[in-house]
Amino acid sequence: MNKSSEKPKQPEKLGVDEYECPICKDTELVLKRDEQGYEIASFCECRERKAWKRRFKQALIPDEFIHANFENYKRLNPFQQTMYQMTVDYLNEFSVLKQEDGTKKKIIPNKNFGLIAVFGEQRLKELPIGERSIVKQQHNNFGIGKTHLQIALAKRLIKDGFNVLIVSDVTFMDELIQAKMMNDEGETLNRLLHSAIHADVLVWDDIGKAKWSEAKEALYYQIINERYRKQKPIVFNSNEDRGTLSEKIGYAAASRLIGQCGPYLLEVEGEDFRLQKSG
Ligand SMILES: Nc1ncnc2c1ncn2[C@@H]1O[C@H](COP(=O)(O)OP(=O)(O)OP(=O)(O)O)[C@@H](O)[C@H]1O
Ligand SMILES: [Mg+2]
Ligand SMILES: [Zn+2]
């Protein structure tokens, strides 16, 4: 039932079964008469469900992580346990308060949450080849569930009513650069920047993965600094460490990003879950 490809119909002409919600005919409002006979509008019961669906769609959850949640994250060793616990602690910083007038107030922490490497990719590349594989094994940061846990976090927040945007570094930076070169007076770029800056929570997967350029460094700064000024949180993970992340996204951006983590910055390493499964 894909209505978007058809010409818009007059709502009156749709049959009852063509509406997702027959009660309100998808207006999300229902009219009732009060004792004096006046019509008053109130929200339909489907409103919350639809809002949740919309938020879920808008969040852009990658296909690979459709099933990722807290329940199916295995905690078999201390590092998995620590990562899991910090993610849950961070989740608990959020809450939704029901106010006297019936509206809800979202409580959002002004802290960022980062899972980064002990020994960053960039640093690894600078080592002589022989040493590289040893250090790589000692400090593996790949496939240890950083994205899994942060997507699980995002899903919970979406369910609780927060607007979450998930971006993946390489794709997102490419999109921004392309938008910058478009001949549309900055419209596309501004739209992308606006959603990244205004989402309640921005989840930035694999930050610092994209190849460095001056234009990208300016974009990292713009988004991170704007969110910093607005006290809006960024949830991020990276294969870089404190030092090398600065090299990839710029010192000014990295210092705000990391500085704003408070207790929620964890240097993580462990066994690659992807290799365990195949081996
Ligand atoms: N403890 C775990 N329990 C269950 N599944 C896990 C666990 N750790 C990782 N996985 C799964 O292994 C795969 C790799 O994990 P994930 O992509 O989250 O790792 P990552 O740390 O983000 O790696 P990379 O840095 O390479 O992006 C995913 O499919 C994820 O669901
Ligand atoms: Mg990842
Ligand atoms: Zn309805």
Q: State yes or no: pLDDT of 81 exceeds 90.
A: yes
**Residue 254 Cα, ligand 3 centroid: separation in angstroms?**
45
Best mutation site among 121, 141, 148, 169 for ligand 1, i.e. most ligand atoms within 8 A of its Cβ? 148
Q: Where are the domains of the chain?
A: 3-44, 50-278
Tell me the two tokens of residue 130: 């022989």
Buried b (16+ CB within 10 A) or exposed e, 142-179: bbbbbbbbbbbbbbbbbebebbbbbbbbeebbeebeeb
As a whole number of angstroms, the distance between CA 196 and CA 153 comes to 18
Residue 278's pLDDT is 55
Q: State yes or no: pLDDT of 15 exceeds 90.
A: no
**Residue 210 Cα, ligand 3 centroid: separation in angstroms?**
43
**Residue 262 Cα, ligand 3 centroid: separation in angstroms?**
43
Reported pTM? 0.87
Q: For a pLDDT cut of 90, what percent of the chain falls above it?
A: 73
Q: Note the CATH architecture for domain 50-278.
A: 3-Layer(aba) Sandwich (3.40)
Q: How many residues does the chain have?
A: 279
Residue 7's pLDDT is 52
Q: For a pLDDT cut of 70, what percent of the chain falls above it?
A: 93
Give the 3-state secondary structure of residue 239. coil
Average pLDDT over residues 177-191: 94
Tell me the two tokens of residue 214: 């001056």
Residue 16's pLDDT is 59
Give the 3-state secondary structure of residue 174. helix
